[in-house]
Every structure is written in C-alpha cells, then in structure tokens.
Amino acid sequence: MTTSKDMTDSTAQTADSKRWTLFGNRNRDERWRDRCCMCLFFPTWRDMSLALSSLLLMTFVGFWVISDGVISYMRAIDHPGWMTLVRRTANAIVFQVEGFDKQNRRGLFDIVVLKKQFLWVRSSYNQLERDGVVIPLATVAETIFDRDMQYALESASDIIAVGTASQEGAVKVEIARANRRARETAKLIKSTLENKVPIWVLNLGQYRDPCEDCEAIETNWQRPFIVIAVVRKDENLNLKEALRDAMRGRSKLPSTQRYSDFKFLRYH
C-alpha cells in the first residue's frame, strides 16, 4: 500500500529529475553558446539576426560610397581638364561641363547662354529681343552670334539647339512653345554654319523652379537663348544621357529638374 510519504518522495524525485534535466539542457545550450562568440553579445537568435542584417547593410553602403569616390577620383585623374568652368564672350556666358552616359563614356560640352539683354520675346517662338527691343529676323544671326560663339559652333562635333519657356502659362502650352523655340534655334544655326555638323534639339520645357544663385549672374533662365556645342566625346557616346548628367547639380547652372521636360531628338 502506497503511503503519503512514498507519494511525496516520488513527487520530489520526479521534480528533481525534471530540474536536473532542464539544468542539463541549459548547460548544453550554454556550452554551445560559449563556442560562438556572437552569442556572448546577442543572447537570442532574433538579436543575432538583427545585428547581422545591420552589419551587412552597413557593409553595402560603405562599399557603395567608397566605390563612388574612387570612380570620381579616377575620372579627375584621367581627365583633369574636364572640369566645370565659366567664360564670357561678347554676347554670352559659356559653361563648360562634362557628363557621362550609363556606360561611363565621357562627353565635354560648351553650354552657351546669351546674356540677360537677349531673350525670347514673351509668347513668341521665333522672335528675339535685345534690351526689350525686337531684333529683326533678317539680322538675328549676325546680332547674337559673336566671333567666339561662331568659332565654338564651327569647331563642335555636334550642336544641340535648346528650347525653354518661362514659368507663366499652362504647362502643355509652354512645352509646345519651348519645342518650337528649339527647332527655330536649330534652323538658325543650320543657316549660319558653313560646316555640316549633326544638329540636335533639346526641349527643356517650362521653367518651374526659380534658382536665386543662377539668376544672380549675367543670364536669365526664364526665356534664354541656349546653344550647346559638343567639344569632345568618347566613341559611341549616348549624347542624351551624358548631357543630362552634365547639367545635373552644377553651380550657377540650373539643374534639369528645374524644367518640366527633357526631350532630345535629331534635327538633321
């Protein structure tokens, strides 16, 4: 017959057995953790996973930053002269900038912008004004293209006629007007140049984000007359990609993000 004492002893033995079993398992776990240095700092799998994920993310970001810096440094070493600079002609400001296409091919561009006194006539696509006075169509070329500008265009491998429109007015209407201005500029260039070089048109669309730093110099970005001469380019360069890159984030030169469009087409 089982007595209460026997039952008590049996229960105690069972409890002791479970306690020692759990203790033994815990010891095995602790011994396993001792073999893994990460476990000394991160007691749970979740903590360890979060730590490893953070480490991998930091490694990726660090690698990307270092790679970008190395590429930029190598570009500067290979072509130290291909830097942004500003020079002036009698009628224009010239921004010389370099850009790269997605295959890392280089292009060097002269972005020629007429000074503030020369603007497209408001709401017009084929008339230019000088100090508020409309320039007769028959004399536009000889009035705006000074000797230095003429030389830059004659020596270019490609020429890009740019169209823009001011921030007033409906977007669609102004984009269409900018396109007509680009084509009118291309037509004017074609009739002026003696050399037959490829001519492109770039429609930047409507100016939508004023730039105080840009407006502080001698140009006006609302309705400017812009021509871009391709000074140098790598073989098989994608002009559109390289030009977009060249115009992005430049000091004193408004970013393409300040305009509503970026349509690039061959004129002839």
For residue 152, name the pLDDT band (cuts at 50, 70, 90).
Answer: confident
Residue range 87-144, pLDDT digits in tens: 889 999 898 999 999 999 999 999 999 998 999 998 898 999 999 899 998 899 989 9
Which of 21, 41, 76 represents a domain boundary (last residue)?
76
* Average pLDDT value for residue range 147-156: 88
For residue 58, name the pLDDT band (cuts at 50, 70, 90).
Answer: confident
Q: Same structural domain for residues 130 and 68?
A: no
For residue 23, name the pLDDT band (cuts at 50, 70, 90).
Answer: very low
- The dihedral through the CA atoms of 251, 267, 259, 139 has a sign that is positive
Enter the tokens of residue 192.
């002026």
Type of residue found at 22: L
Q: Same structural domain for residues 36 and 164?
A: no
Q: Which domain holds residue 151?
A: 81-266
Residue whose pair of structure tokens reads 């812009």 in the numeric block = 226
* Average pLDDT value for residue range 9-19: 48
Which residues, in sequence order, are CB contacts of 117 under 8 Å at separation 6+? 130, 131
Q: The CATH number of the domain where 208 resides is what?
A: 3.30.1330.60
Domain count, the chain: 2
Q: Same structural domain for residues 58 and 138?
A: no
Which of 58, 76, 94 represents a domain boundary (last residue)?
76
Q: Record the pTM.
A: 0.67
Q: Same structural domain for residues 256 and 235?
A: yes
Q: Same structural domain for residues 113 and 8?
A: no
